[in-house]
Structures are given as C-alpha cells and as structure tokens.
Structure 1
C-alpha cells in the first residue's frame, strides 16, 4: 500500500507538469521518443502499449506531420514523462483535458503563498500566465511560418549527411576489426565483419536514441532524427548480417550460421542495454554536478527550430551535401576502373542517402497495424519491410556477382550493397524495438518479432541466393 502511495506521489506532479510544457519541449518527436528502458508492466491499455513499442525506434515523416496536426486524445510515452520511481506516466496530447489531481496541485501551490496580499498574487499570476501565453503564441507562429517543404528538405539533408557518415564509420570498423588489422572478425566466421558496427551502433542508440533523444530534440528535432535514423541506422546493417549467414550456410557451415544469428542478436541486444545503463549514469552525473557543466547546459539551451535558424541550417546542410556528393562523384570517375575498395566506398557514399530516405519513409508504418480496424499494432511493419527488402536485394546482387563475375559488376554491386542496402536496413532501430518489447508487459513479442524478421529474410535469401548458387554451381 505504501509503495503504491509513493508512486502516486511521485508521478502526480510529473503528470501535471507535462501539460504545461512549452510546445518547443513537448514536440512531436519527443512525444514519440518512447524510452524502452522504462516500460511499465502495469499499463492497462494494451493497444496504447502496442503502438508505443512499435514506435520505439522511428516513426518516419509522421513526426513532421504530427508537429503540425497533433492527434488529440492520443497517449504517447517519452523520456520526459518518466517518474523517478520508474513509473511511466501517459501524456494526453489534448491540452484541454485536465489530468486528475491537477486542480488540487494548483490549489496547494497557491496556498503556500497565501501570506502575500491578494493583489500581489493576482499580479504574479496574471504576469506569469500572460508571459507563458505570449511565449507559446510566438513559438506557434514561428512553427507555422516554416513551410512543410522546408521541413522535408531540412530533414532529408540531415538524414543524408549523417547517413554518409554512418557508411564511412561502418566501412572502417570492418577494416579495423577484420583480418587485416585486429583479426577479430572475418567472412568465414560467425563473428561476421559487420558485428562491431552493429554493436557500436546499438550501444550509441541506447545513448542518443533512448536516454538523450529528448535532450537532443530540444536543440533540433531534425538533428535527433539525423543522428538516430541517419547515422546510427546507417552505421548498423541488417542486410549485411543476413548475407554473411547465407554465405556460411551456402558453404555448408550451418552451425556457424546459426551461431552467427544467435551471437549477433545477443551482442546487439546487450549493447543497447549497456548503452542505456551508462547513459542513465551519465545523466545522473549531469544532474548531480549540473552547476559545473556550463558548456553542456548552454548546448542544451540552443534551439535550431526557429524559422531563421531553420532556414540557415537547411541552406548550409544542402551546400555541404552537394559538396560531398560532388567530391565523391569526381573521385569515383577516377577510381571506378581501378577495382579498388576506394571505388566501392565512394559509390556507397553516393547512393547511401537514398537508402536512408526510403527507410525513413517506410518507418511511418510503425505502430499503424494492419486493416481498417488495425491489428498487430505492436509490429513495426516499416522497419520489418526495410530489413526484409534490403536483405532480399542484397541476396539478389550477390547472385548477380556470381553470375556475371566481372570487375565492373563487382564494384557496382559491392558499392550498392555497402551504401544503399546497408543504409536501407538497420540493426540499431530493430534492436531498440526489440528491447522495448522485451521490457513491455508482453515480452514474448520481442522474440516473435526478432524471429520473424530473421526467418523471413533468411528464407528469401536462401531462395534468391543460395539455391541458384547450388543449382548453377557458381564458384
């Protein structure tokens, strides 16, 4: 009984405070930033929880749509509405609905200042409410002044640049941990080449996609999207993981293939847990010694979502993106016929952003379910479709390389696999959704989702790649 009273005491003020947040803090992206580390097992609305776990990784361009047209009455979970006791507190997006206990909370707050003259209280109340209203009106006008096309261009630019960085980081992690340097991974082992990148990306997803996503979004929603969907989604790759397991099974190394699937899932899942726990520790240190962290606090106070800063940032991002593409294309024309790995990396940087864009658009399917009366809302169909599609296309290109077997075909195929398909598929988002389901009231969904994604991708890959190689006898 005492435990329940403590939870109500702690969560009460949080609930009331969330209704009075400025729109810049309670933005659409932060409303959808479901903290997979704080899922309560006492949620009564299974449909709401199902939608929330499905949206744990990404919701695509719905974040931009909902920032203009909020879905009133819908419940969302975020890192901002978690009480100190770990209880998840739902935030109603319809601000006109007053939460239970809000009136009493206001009354208590006023009674503590009852020693002041009534006129003073009226002046303080009027000035604070007026100032808040003016700030909110100014913010709303600022948001409405941003055209939707500018929002899309800005977001796509963030995704592109961070996606290219993710491709480059994944490529060099392959080289670092591969046979040429450290030798921890290889093509012939269940410790596959992309395993370090998947682990690092999942770890960082715990930091920037779960614990600190709300703080990053206070600076810019698009920055948070670019960092998580763009960089971390492109740093990790599901299609590369699936293809290495297909190569092992094609060679008859079925034990290694099974071990590669189990070890890959386990290490990625533990990496995000380790990331969440260390990030929470860092957040505690920031809270404990916050007064001495002036630089960090000043960064958190930045806001790039105003119209002027939004426009400037978009122009700068576009110029940088066009410059990067121009440099890559110029060097690619010189390196293309050299059959070097540089040619493959340059091509990957050129085509990688297109994979990120498609995955981002597909993410709008997460949390939507199937049918007019949606069912299976807990399944992130957008992420599932991106991973299965990329794995199938990866298998098709691998078959093409075997069939054609020329230097030009190999360079183009590897560049597309490394860039476009590596960015189209993702492990970081997949594992964030897996972790959210695992910590929900129905943890079996996590294993059902992971098993379905892996089984469908591996089965289609076997039909597209392994079977033709066996039948045709390709080397």
Structure 2
C-alpha cells in the first residue's frame, strides 16, 4: 500500500501547472459556435497551459500515464472505463446531431415570408433590409444564449445536443452567402452606397444582437439561480436530476432518436418536394432546401475542425479559418450560380439554382457562428482582431463575387 502511495505521489509530482497568457490563444473562439478545440492540456478561455510528462488522455483529460495510478484511483478508473465505452460510439454521431438544420431552414423560410413582400413588407430584394436579415438577427440573438452563455451547461448534458443547436439549427437559420449576394446584386446594379450601408448595418446588427443575446441569457441564468435559492432544494431540485448523456446506452438512444428524426424529416420533405416540383415556386424551393441542407451543415462542421489551428507553425490561430472558408466558398458558389441563372435564363434552371442557393449554400454559410467568433474576439485582449476578421470575410467574399458575378453581368 505504501509503495502504491509512493508511486502515485511520484506520478503526481510530475504534473506542473504554469500560468501563461498566449497571445495567439487568448482570443481563440473555440468555446463558441461550431468550433471544437483539440489542444493538449490547454484551456483557451483563461490562458492556462497544463504541461504533463508521460501523460495519457482519459475522457478528454490528460492524466499521468501510470497504470498503477489509474488502478489506485477509483475516479480515474471510472473515467477510463467511460473512455473505453465512448470508443464504441460511431464517429458520425456529430454529423447525425446536425439533424436540427432542417428546423433551421424551416424557421428561416418562415421569417423570410412573414416579414417579406406581400405580408409585413419589412424586407425586400432592392434594399439594405434584405430578406434573410430577420433570420440572421434571430440567429445572432439565440447564439448568445445557446452558443455562448448556456453552451457549457448544454455540453454537460450532451456535446451532441450542443452541436445540434449551434451548428445544426442556428447555423442553418442564419446565412452569410445570401447576405453577400444581395449586397453584390445592389452593387452590380449601380447602388454601391446601399451595398456598403448594407454591410455596415449588418455588422452593427451582428455586434449588438449577440450582445443582447448574451446579456439576456446571463440575466435569465441569474434568475434561475435566485429562484433555486428562494424555493430551496426540496422544492426546486432540477440541479439534482442527472440528465447527462454519459454512457453507451444513452448515446445509443440519442443517436437512434436523431436518426429517426432525420429520416422522418427527409421523408416528408421528399414527398412534398415530389408533389411541388412540377409547380415550382417558393414551396418547392423550401422542401428541396430541406433535402440538401444537411449536406451544407456537414461540410461546415467538417471545416470547423480547422478553427483554432492556424497556418504553418500555428500562426494566426486567432483567425477561425474553418468558418472563413465555409462562408467565402458558399458566397463564391452562390455568385457563380447567379451568373449561370442569368446566362441560361430558363424556368427549370431558375428553379434548381434558387433551391441550391437557399438550401445547400444557405446552410453551408453561417452568420451565427461568425457573430459568436466576432464577439469573443472583440472582448479579448486584442479587440482589433475582430474587425480584421470581419473585413477579411466580407472583403474576400465581395471581391470574388464581383469577379464571378459582376464582370459577366456588365459584359452582357
């Protein structure tokens, strides 16, 4: 027993914790939106760096790699057992959890129709209040709730639920490519001032909508804490309920439910699309978008793995390259499809191109994650990086859009 205690103490003595602020890491936005951090023993939020010798990763935590230590500590042994269970889980579970993207597409379509021409007439294709603006604003607000303030609480229940809400639902509810294309169309038509105002006002809404979301979410969280204290643990015992999805069986149930949901939504969308295809119109566009939307979300979630890695030897780690690539590529493809639509100018081409733009590209690009990353960087020690990040995304997307869409239109 004493030998084991000595071995354990020796292993723990090799663990050293040093507080160091990393200029490239302190502004990382790996805790918001789509992004996931996979850096050994490194906490981006508070700049703490953990360095272990001879370590083993157990349950996402690096611990001394001494087998005797793991056997001696019941807690570490439990985590080790859970890690072995997790290895049996399908790696595609993260992609299945993006099933909520179809609900995001439906919400975006509903807001566009309610506030667009013919109903409330707040938005239009000819002004800076573009049709996707209402859904983007709602997405900004909700990202402050589920992607910033409550993301850690949701992740404690299930990481996949957090992915479903932020990457799936909010990522599909908001769209950057639609925003860029509307401003591009205004510029190509000669309304350059309106296009610039559209981007400027849009960025103001990005900044203040997510701030409003964060502040209201913090207020609600404080209210829940106050309510729990006033009512007492005997009456309000929600915190004692174990809702965490932390076993193979519970993960299996969650996966099955999400697969059933995805299959049901795809089946309904496919059946309705088949009925509406020959008629065309916005209803057919909606159901087609629901069918192809998940593909855009999956590509964006795959690209999100690049966030926080930087380029080369870790340079520019503060720049979320995954979100940048997703938004810029979606904006460029949307501009190319708009050029194709003008060149071919047939009803069938119009219908198919519009559906791909609204569904696939609308879900591939996102403003909610972009807004969360912008806000996190703006509140860091280097707030200027947030504005550089915004100008890079908008500048590259708009410049490439001019080359792809503007020049062919002007030549004709």
- TM bucket, shorter chain: 0.7 to 0.9
Equivalent residue for 1:236? 174
Equivalent residue for 2:334? 394
Structure-to-structure mapping, 1:115-194, within 5 angstroms: 133-147=73-87, 150-159=89-98, 161-194=99-132
Equivalent residue for 1:17? none
Equivalent residue for 2:294? 353
Q: Is 1:47 paired with 2:47?
A: no
Q: Deviations over 1:190-248 (max 9, x none)?
A: 01111111111011111111110011111101000110111111111000000000111
Q: Deviations over 1:390-434 (max 9, x none)?
A: 000111111111111222212211111111101100101111111
Q: Is 1:254 paired with 2:192?
A: yes
Separation in 2 of the partners of 1:143 and 1:154?
A: 16
Separation in 2 of the partners of 1:326 and 1:73?
A: 44
Separation in 1 of the partners of 2:114 and 2:52?
A: 51
Equivalent residue for 1:213? 151
Separation in 2 of the partners of 1:95 and 1:325?
A: 49
Equivalent residue for 1:16? none
User: For 2:33, which of 57, 60, 65 is the aligned residue?
Assistant: 57
On the 8 A contact 1:154/1:317 being kept in 2, the answer is no
Structure 1 position 319, deviation (Å)? 2.0
User: For 1:382, which of 314, 322, 345 is the aligned residue?
Assistant: 322
Task: Decide whether aligned partners of structure 1 residues 96 and 412 sit closer, same or farther in structure 2, where only a CA change above 3 A counts.
Answer: same
Separation in 2 of the partners of 1:168 and 1:442?
A: 37
Task: Decide whether aligned partners of structure 1 residues 96 and 295 sit closer, same or farther in structure 2, where only a CA change above 3 A counts.
Answer: farther
Equivalent residue for 1:76? 44
Separation in 2 of the partners of 1:425 and 1:347?
A: 17
Equivalent residue for 2:279? 338
Q: Which runs of 5+ in 2 are unaligned?
A: 1-18, 56-69
Task: Decide whether aligned partners of structure 1 residues 195 and 43 sit closer, same or farther in structure 2, where only a CA change above 3 A counts.
Answer: farther
Structure 1 position 136, deviation (Å)? 4.7
Equivalent residue for 1:107? none
User: For 2:48, which of 90, 101, 104 is the aligned residue?
Assistant: 90
Using structure 1 for the length normalisation, give the TM-score: 0.75
Task: Decide whether aligned partners of structure 1 residues 295 and 95 sit closer, same or farther in structure 2, where only a CA change above 3 A counts.
Answer: farther
Q: Deviations over 1:82-140 (max 9, x none)?
A: xxxxxx4737485999xxxxxxxxxxxxxxxxxxxxxxxxxxxxxxxx9x953553343
Equivalent residue for 2:63? none
User: For 1:451, which of 373, 391, 405 is the aligned residue?
Assistant: 391
Task: Decide whether aligned partners of structure 1 residues 306 and 195 sit closer, same or farther in structure 2, where only a CA change above 3 A counts.
Answer: same
Please state whether the residue corresponding to 1:182 is helix, strand or coil. coil
Q: Which runs of 5+ in 1 are unaligned?
A: 1-41, 78-87, 98-129
- Count of residue pairs the alignment pairs up: 377
Q: Deviations over 1:275-310 (max 9, x none)?
A: 1111111111111111448375366x3012311010
Equivalent residue for 2:402? 462
